[in-house]
């Protein structure tokens, strides 16, 4: 299965790259990492829980995205991976 990619590197956006995996593995690279790393991780975890996804390799390159943007980009990447 090909990776799913969604988002941009513009300010206030994020790029998510997701690949199938047997477990969850999340890597976050954020311009506001010092302040918001945990919050970004929480959004990712919550979204994966809602979608019932136990195994996924997630790379998040964040440029200051708000929670709704993170969630939307992650879901888009997952759907593109599954398409």
Partner 1 sequence: MIQNADVFGADALIFDLEDAVAAHEKDAARLLLAGFLAKARPQEVRVYVRINGLDTPLACTDLEAVVGDAVDGIVLPKAGLAEVMELSTILHNLEAQKGLEKKIAILPIVETAKSLVEVEEIAKLSRLDGILLGAEDLSADMEFERTKAGTEIEYPRARIAFACKAARIEAIDTPFTDTNDPDGLREDCLHSQSLGMNAKAAIHPNQIETIHAVFSPSPKRIEWALRIRAAARKAGEQNLGVFSLDGKMVDKPIIDRAEKILRAAERFGLLPEERA
- DSSP state letter for 63: S
Closest C-alpha to 40, from 4, 5, 78, 73 = 73
For the record, the structure tokens of 37 come out as: 């790393």
Residue 14 touching partner 1 (CB under 8 A): no
Contacting range for partner 1; rule: CB under 8 A; set: 19-27, 30-38, 54-62, 71-79: 71-79
Residue given tokens 């997952």 in the structure block: 78
Bridge partner residues of 26 (DSSP): 58
Residue 60 lies near partner 1 (rule: CB under 8 A): no
Q: Which of these ranges, 4-12, 18-26, 31-39, 48-56, lies near partner 1 under the rule CB under 8 A? A: 4-12
Q: Which residues bind partner 1 (CB under 8 A)?
A: 6-7, 12, 66-69, 71-73, 75-76, 79-80
């Amino acid at each position: 299965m090909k990776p799913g990619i969604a988002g941009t590197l513009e300010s206030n956006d994020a790029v998510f790259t997701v690949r199938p995996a047997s477990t969850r593995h999340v890597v976050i690279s954020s311009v506001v990492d010092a302040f918001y790393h945990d919050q970004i991780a929480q959004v990712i975890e919550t979204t994966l829980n809602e979608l019932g996804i136990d195994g996924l390799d997630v790379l998040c390159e964040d440029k200051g995205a708000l929670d709704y943007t993170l969630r939307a980009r992650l879901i888009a990447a997952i759907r593109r991976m599954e398409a």
